[in-house]
């Protein structure tokens, strides 16, 4: 006879539990009894009270299961240790200790770290050493700018930002005149000192003017200082040639040399000519101002300085263009000038100075826009006059009243 779920004939000893039960049972063995017993044992197996082989669960075997799990865990740890000791894993660990660098630059350039190529500017560079000083060098790919270097120390898991500004390649020039002592203007800007002199300017085309009192000006426009072998008297078609002297050639050396022999004659060059002719290009110069005996100075409505010493001339660096306004509030505090407020003002480019005090106009009240947009209808002409205590040889200019508001517009 066959029973559900049991392979083979139904016998009394198919299960130890059934055998023991039937042996002590007082009721006769029947098919219905076997089915009821089987169903009961199946329920006990589902509840965990019976082993899958129809045998009572062995407590010792169950106690050994945590030990087997521990062996599996130890084996997994050993395999993981072997994996991390491999070269590939070591490389991954070193990357986790690396740092990142972002080099911001005004031009597209190439970045080198400790002499080795690391990438391009304006991008994040990775896999860099941590905690040690690094020399970061930036080179312009076009070659128009000079190389720059910085030393940085990177931090782990952070992007270190570095700002690098490359400057134009400098061209050096040695200027010698006969006789010496001439002033040099490059692009209408006075270069400090007099000849013989070595100047350094950005590589490219420039205007050079050599000026000396009692001698004709030497003017050369559009000269290309990036060409070491170009003659000083040569230039692009349509440009002005040399004037007022015999001009030699540039000597092809590390610092090219201009040799100029000046010829006697009047000097007609006006270093302030850009201020009077070009309303778009600013011109750098010095502004000297002094007052009897206190002033507050403005440039285009913005305060740029003040002073309270009537003997001293205060110096300010300014960039002026045609149409700019210089204004000042002048106060006679001591009352020693018979109720008048006086001031002196001059502009200077190099050793050339222009007295502009007499060009100001004054007002007794601070009307709207007096220091930015002066109104000719609300102002009065300044009265320049000599003063026995006037320093620096400048005219002392006077306005009426103990306080006045003066302005000058180019």
Helix, strand, or coil (residue 277): helix
Q: Where are the beta strands (DSSP E) in 322-375?
A: 325-331, 340-349, 352-355, 361-363
* Domains of the chain from N-terminus onward: 97-164 (2.60.40.2070), 172-262 (no CATH), 280-409 (2.60.60)
How confident is residue 31, by pLDDT bands cut at 50, 70 and 90?
Answer: low
Q: Provide, rounded to the nearest whole percent, the portion of the chain with pLDDT above 70.
A: 68
Spatial CA neighbour of 407 closest among 392, 385, 378 = 378
Task: Give CA–CA dist 340/382, Å, rounded.
Answer: 12
Q: How many CB atoms lie within 10 A of CB 338?
A: 8
pLDDT of residue 97: 66
- What confidence category does residue 353 fall into, taking pLDDT thresholds of 50, 70 and 90? confident
pTM for this entry:
0.52
Per residue in 288-342, pLDDT (tens digit) is 998 888 999 999 999 999 998 878 889 999 988 888 999 999 988 877 666 678 8
Q: What is the mean pLDDT of the chain?
A: 74
DSSP state of 168: B
- Exposed (0-12), middle (13-18) or buried (19+): which is 313, by Cβ within 10 Å? middle
Section 133-144 average pLDDT? 87
- Across 346-364, b (16+ Cβ under 10 Å) vs e yields bbbbbebbebbbebbbbbb
Q: What is the pLDDT of residues 165-209, one digit of tens each?
A: 888 877 888 889 999 989 888 887 888 888 998 888 887 888 889
pLDDT value at position 82?
62
pLDDT at 42: 59
Q: How far is the C-alpha of 1 from the C-alpha of 30, rounded, in Å?
A: 12
Angle at 383 between CA 378 and CA 386, to 5 degrees: 160
Name the token pair of 113: 């770290």
């Amino acid at each position: 006879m066959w029973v559900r779920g049991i392979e083979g004939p139904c016998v009394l000893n198919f299960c130890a539990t059934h055998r023991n039960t039937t042996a002590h049972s007082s009721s006769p063995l029947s098919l219905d009894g076997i089915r009821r017993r089987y169903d009961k044992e199946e329920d006990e197996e589902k509840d965990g009270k019976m082993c899958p082989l129809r045998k009572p669960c062995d407590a010792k075997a169950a106690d050994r299961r945590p030990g087997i799990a521990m062996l599996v865990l130890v084996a997994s740890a050993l395999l993981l240790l072997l994996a991390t000791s491999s070269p590939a894993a070591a490389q991954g660990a070193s990357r986790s200790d690396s740092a990142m660098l972002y080099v911001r630059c005004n031009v597209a350039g190439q970045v080198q770290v400790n002499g080795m190529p690391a990438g391009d500017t304006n991008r994040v560079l990775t896999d860099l050493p941590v905690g040690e000083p690094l020399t970061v060098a930036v080179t312009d790919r076009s070659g128009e700018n000079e190389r720059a270097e910085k030393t940085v120390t990177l931090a782990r898991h952070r992007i270190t930002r570095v700002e690098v500004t490359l400057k134009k390649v400098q061209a050096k020039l040695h200027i010698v005149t006969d006789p010496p002592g001439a002033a040099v203007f490059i692009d209408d800007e006075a270069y400090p000192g007099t000849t013989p002199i070595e100047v350094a300017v950005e590589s490219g085309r420039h205007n050079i003017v050599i000026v000396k009192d009692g001698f004709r000006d030497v003017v050369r426009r559009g000269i290309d200082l990036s060409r070491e072998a170009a003659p000083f008297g040569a230039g692009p078609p349509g440009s002005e040639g040399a004037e007022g002297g015999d001009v030699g050639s540039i000597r092809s050396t590390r610092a090219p040399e201009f040799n100029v022999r000046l010829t006697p004659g009047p000097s007609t060059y006006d270093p302030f000519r850009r201020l009077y002719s070009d309303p778009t290009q600013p011109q750098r110069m010095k502004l000297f101002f002094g007052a009897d005996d206190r002033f507050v100075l403005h440039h285009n409505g913005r305060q740029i300085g003040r002073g309270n010493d009537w003997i001293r001339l205060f110096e300010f660096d300014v960039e002026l263009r045609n149409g700019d306004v210089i204004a000042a509030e002048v106060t006679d505090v001591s009352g020693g000038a018979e109720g008048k407020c006086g001031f002196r003002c001059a502009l200077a480019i190099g050793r050339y100075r222009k007295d502009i005090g007499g060009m100001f106009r004054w007002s007794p009240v601070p009307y709207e826009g007096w220091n930015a947009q002066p109104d000719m209808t609300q102002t009065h002409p300044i009265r320049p006059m000599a003063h026995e205590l006037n320093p620096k040889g400048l005219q002392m200019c006077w306005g009426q009243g103990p306080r006045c508001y003066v302005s000058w517009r180019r």
